[in-house]
Every structure is written in structure tokens, then in C-alpha cells.
Structure 1
Amino acid sequence: MPGDEVAVSARADAGGASAPLDRVCLLIGQLGLGGTEKQVALLAEGLRARGVDTSVLVMFEGGPHEDTLRTADVPVVHLGFQRRSAGWRMPSDNAAAFLRLVGRLRRTRPDVLHAFLFHSHVTAAAAARPAGVPVLVAGRRSLGDFKRGRPLVSALDAVATRMTDHLIANARAVADDALRDRGVTAEKLTIVRNGLPGSAFEPMPPAPLATRLPVVLCVANLISYKGHRYLLEATARLRTRGVHCTLALAGDGPERAALQRQATRLGIDARFLGTRTDIGRLLARCDVVALASLQEGMSNAVMEAMAAGRPVVATEVGGTGELLRGRGVLVPPADPQALADGIERVLGNPAFAAELGLKARAWSEAHLSDDVMVDEHVRIYRELLGRGRRDGVQPRQRTTGSGE
């Protein structure tokens, strides 16, 4: 990792020792096709490949990453927490599931419990101490916009953060946002970028898509903060300029029906492809990748487009600027005019598009390896364990077997 990316943390290796790392539990809400879920799967597989006994604990439901994890000999444990239509039930409403989590942690005795996203973080913070977990880590994956106007959520997040040993942000923008929270200091925070598997850099045959027009691809779940409505509007503005294209939307979600109605009203060629697992082939088929998000942490969709050598036009939110500055086209959020201008600039200049793709691919190869991501997590875990043992925490006595 470049030095400026980890400067926000205080490194234990500058003045102390690290400790052996035997067992890690990763806690997440579900294993669907989101970016965080993909990174959890990559981290679990990488830890397992390095000889660390790793399991993934799922609060609510599984998903496509489950089979991948089990193929890599990473156990996936369903805890049985229940959602409700109006939102998440707090642990007091899921007493049996919470007790299952505490009991499992007591039996398996992990060195580190690493929680991802808000629900898991709050639950892990409540469970770690009664379970006797030596180190609790939380992954910061997005800006704190979700807490605005929600005092209970803000209070729970603050309490959980105080009970957490270390935070890992996936972008400098996310780290800077976290540092504005009360109780978060630079010593408690490290930046580790998301990683990409080697397969993301391999050439792929293009996916079939019946159109003779240039293809603008957007890979994002159809939820409001991904800004699809602005991308549809930008496509309509391009059409009025005589720049015709096919907009391919890979992903699904609650905004689909409204977006389909908007596309029909605008009279644009928008293809709603639904949930797809062949993103590499879609990237090989497209001419430009566009992302209109109103907020982001570190976008996996942008990273994968860069690895595939595709030119990217995206809104400058969260960590997207860190990825694309000097090797992509950045535009303001919620601005369909700027988005249309950026797409037209790429589609109208093949040499410029090719240059962006080459720069993006070269940078991603140098900076976005999943090996770097996993090794950084191992370093952090070991330093935190070593720090705790220097403060008087004794190594746990292990018994044979994984306790699964």
C-alpha cells in the first residue's frame, strides 16, 4: 500500500511486535451480490489460503457468494436473525439468534471478530465482550449519510464504535468521514482499499447484446442512491444531440419499475438486464461504463471496469475520485447534463477512450490486488492482537479442531 493511504493509522509495527493469528470470524448481514459481500468473500478466501481458520457468520440470509466460500473450505454459518418490513429488528427482538452468536463465538474462540456494515457492527459490539473475543474490528465501507436525521442509528453507531478496537475504511473519503465522528481518532483507523481477484484482469468474450449502437454499461443495484434516474436523463439528452446509444443496466432492486417507466417516457434504448453474474463479459461488450451514484464508498463496479480496461464516466463521490482521477472522467452527482457531456466526450473520441482504459487498467493492476488487501488485513489483525497481549491479554489455549 502506498504510504499516503495508510498514514491515517498508527502502525504497531513501528514500535512493537505482532502476534500469531489463528482464527477469524467475519460477520455480515447477507451474502448477496453487493460490493461489500464480494470483498468479504475475497477476504475470507484469502485468509483461508494463508492458513487462518476463517468462518463467515451471516445474520439474515445467504446468497451467491455462499457456494464460492464453501468451495474454498470457508464455513458459512446462518445465525437466524429476522428482518421486519419496516427495518431491522434489534438484538433484543432476536434474543435467540443473538445468544447463538455469543455461544458460537465462545465455542470457536476467534482471535478477531470483524463486522461489516451497520447492523453487523452494532451486533458484534454487543456480542464481543460477553463472548470473550480479544479483538473487534469494524469495516467502514461508506459515508455516514445513512445516519443523518436518525438519532437512534447515530447513537448506536457511536456506542458500537467506542466498543470497537479498530476501524478499517476502504477509501480515504470514507476515512475522512469517519474521523468526523465523535470518538474516532487517526490511531483507531486504517485505510485498506478493496481488492480484485486475478480473474478480473483476464480477457473475456463479450456477452451477447443485440444492438448496433455504442453500449453504455452501468453495473449497480437499482436503488435510489445509485442515481440511475440521472443516467437515464443523460441518455435522453445525448439522443437529442444525435448521439445514440444503448444503455445496459446490470442489477436489480426496488427502483426497477419506476426506472422502466422513465425510460419509456424518455424514449431511450434502455435494457434492464437484471441481476447478472457475467459482469466481465458485459464489460467486454460495452464501449463505456457509467456510474451516476449520489454516494459511494469504494465502488467495486468502477474497479472491475478499470481492471477490464474500459473507459469510465462516474460521479465524483466517496472514493470514486481516488480511483479515477487522471484515468477516468469525473462529473458532479445529480447532474445529467455533466454526465451526458462526459459520455459524449468518450464515445466521440476513440483515442481518448482507449487512453483512459489503458491508464485505468495499469493503475488497477498496481494498486488493487486482492493479495495486497488480504495481507493488509492480516497485518492489522496481528498488530492488534500483539498490542492486546502487550497490555496483559494472554494468548488463548486452543484445542484441536475448528469448533465448527
Structure 2
Amino acid sequence: MKSRFLVAGFAMFCLGAHAQSNVTLYGVVDLGLTYTNSAQTGKAGTKPIGASQVALTDAHATGLSGSRWGLRGNEDLGAGTKAIFVLENGFNANTGTLAQGGAEFGRQSYVGISSVNIGTVTVGRQYDPYIDFVQPLSASGTFAGYMGSHPNDLDNLTNTNRINNSIKFTTLKYGGFSAGGLYSLGGVAGNATQNQIWSLGAGYSGAGLSIGAGYLNARDPNVSFYGNTPNKGVATANNLGSFGSATTAESNPVFAGYASAKTTQIVGAAINYTLERTTFGLLVTNTRFEDLGTTVAPNPRGYSGDASFTSAEVSVRSQLTPALLLGAAFDYTKRNSVNGDGGAKYLQLDLGAIYSLSKRTDLYALTVMQRASGVDSLGQPAVASISGFTPSATDKQVGARIGIRHKF
């Protein structure tokens, strides 16, 4: 009899807790077979060498949605106010290892307050407003996936770098308009601006028209922005990429040479217009690595001044049937001349097809073709470098992927 009372009491406690709060387990598993016609294996002297490559990979670098699992919850505090939280883990489904440099909740980890009268305030590791308002209107955010982002994801449109130690506010929607702001504390004693990051964004959606714009400013970006995962963060190391060696490939050659920048600034704006089943998109971003040579980060090329990348993207996607989505995009990226190197250009074509077997399961195929010209940040003839793939050994690269994505 006593045990029955205990069981009944425990059940009533659980029901009461459930009535006040809600916690949801969710996630994505996305795996696929990738191919590239050229992937670096090392260098012969100063010239990259490579070969074609086929691999089974998780989507976090080349597919639609990086594999993840997470907990999302809220507690009703009354008067239209809720306490909220998100803990989101990223993992490599093909090996079972942690993504985001080994961080347990490397995708997101934040807590906050949401009000139906004001908006939402959150604190922790999270996405910035530039991502919130611009990425959903890009080719990579809709049909092209991570590999469809601009070369080496130089403008961070696929969340390569999230923001630690941040405070974020997002407004409610007013007539289709909304906005947000974020500030990340550097946490350095005696220097309030060192390692700080701040971001602003705004958008509008209504009557088939969607517009988004955003700005991000990261001080000492080699540590604050590119070095905020457990496997990075050393100020004297290059957290942007690597120059490679006789036996290893380069990493992010598009901008790896600019680790000594004092500030990274990214600004972007995008517009989508939907006409029946077809959506047309235009996106422009500018990424600047400013005051090169002013930090303790590596600067083997002896750069000074600023490196500025401008990317322009046009896209079209069509929901041909309730199950089949087709998309195509073209991107042109140009960098200015830094210390007289003449600059660099990258042309890229993205093609994607997504077929939904159900609301939770998709089959998809992606193809990206890129061509580079000029001189890259490593001071060598520019090589093609599709985001998520090992850089090419030549100025051309083709990447392809077929995959399956399941959401739960």
C-alpha cells in the first residue's frame, strides 16, 4: 500500500512538472557519398599535388544539414513570458565523433527569456543576427548546403564560426519586420574590446517577398571568431587555416594568410521573391580582414593593410512537385590586391535537387563547380577551394554529393 502511494505521488509530480514546462528532443542525421575530381595530398616544392577522391562523409561540411541532436525547452512564467533553453550537439554520423572541434554542445548552448510583449533575450553560444537574417535567403541555406557556400565559407553564411560568451536580443515581428542585436564579451582583464564581437541584423517577410541584412564585427578574429572551439584558440597559431606541407593539404587558402588581422567585418544583404512555385534570389556580401599585421597571430607573408572580398550570388529554386525541389545558383567572388599581389577571383556554380520521401526524410544530390584565378592569401597561384572539401591542386574543382537526411 505504501509503495502505491509513492508511485501515485511520483506520477502527480511528473504531471505537475509537465504542465509547467516542456522539453523536446530533436535532431538530424545526414550522411552521403562525396566525390571531387581534385583534392590536394601535399606539395612538390611549392606546387600543390593531388588526386580525385571518393568518401562517405557527414553533412556538416558538404551536405544539407550537419548531423546533430539537441534539447529544446521552455517554462511558462506567466503573463506571456517563458524561460527557454537550447543545448545542441554536433557529431559526425559516419564515425560517431564530435564535430565543432570536439565541443559537446558546439552547435548551440544558450538560455534566456522570451516575452510576447517585447521579444527574446538569450545568453551563451549561439548564432548571430547576420546569420539569422541573411543565411535563410542564400543558396546554401535553402538547397545547395554547405558545399554551396562561397569559397571556404569566407563570409560565414553556413555557420562555420558560432559566437561564444554572447548576449542576444531579437524583437517580435511587427508587420513582417524584425531585428536583432548581439554582443560577445571578450573577457580580457583591462581591455574591454579585445576579442569582442558584435552583430546586428534586420529582415522583412510578406506577400512573397523576403529581405534580410546583417553586419558582424569581430576584434582579434584569429582567437575570438576563428578560434572559439576546443581544438583552437591559441593566439600564436593560425586558426584560419594552414599553408600545407609536402605531405599535408592546405586549409582555407582563400583567406588563411590573413590571421594577423585586427578586425574581421562581414556585411551582407539578400532578397528573395517567390512567384507561385519558383523563388528568385539575390545576395551580396563583403568580408574584410582589416589592419593586417597588427596582432601576434602568424603573418609569414608580411601583409599589411586590408583584404576585402566581395561576393555576389544569384539563385533560383523551384518546388516542381510537393516532393521535388530543384535549385541553381551562380556566385562571383573578388578580392582586392593586398601588398600588390593583384588579388583573386572565384567563379562558382551550384546545382541541387532534393526529393522528400516524407516530412522527415529526404534524398538529395548536389554538384558544385568552381574556378579560381589570381593569387590567393598564401601568395601562390589561386587554387579552387569548394567549402568543406580539401582544396584542389589546380585552379578548377568539381564536388558532388548524393545523400540521405532524416530529421527527428
**So what's the TM-score if we normalise by structure 1?**
0.23
Higher RCO, Cα 8 Å, sep 6+: 1
Would you tell me which structure has more helix in proportion to its own residues? Answer: 1
Would you tell me which structure has more strand in proportion to its own residues? Answer: 2
**So what's the TM-score if we normalise by structure 2?**
0.23
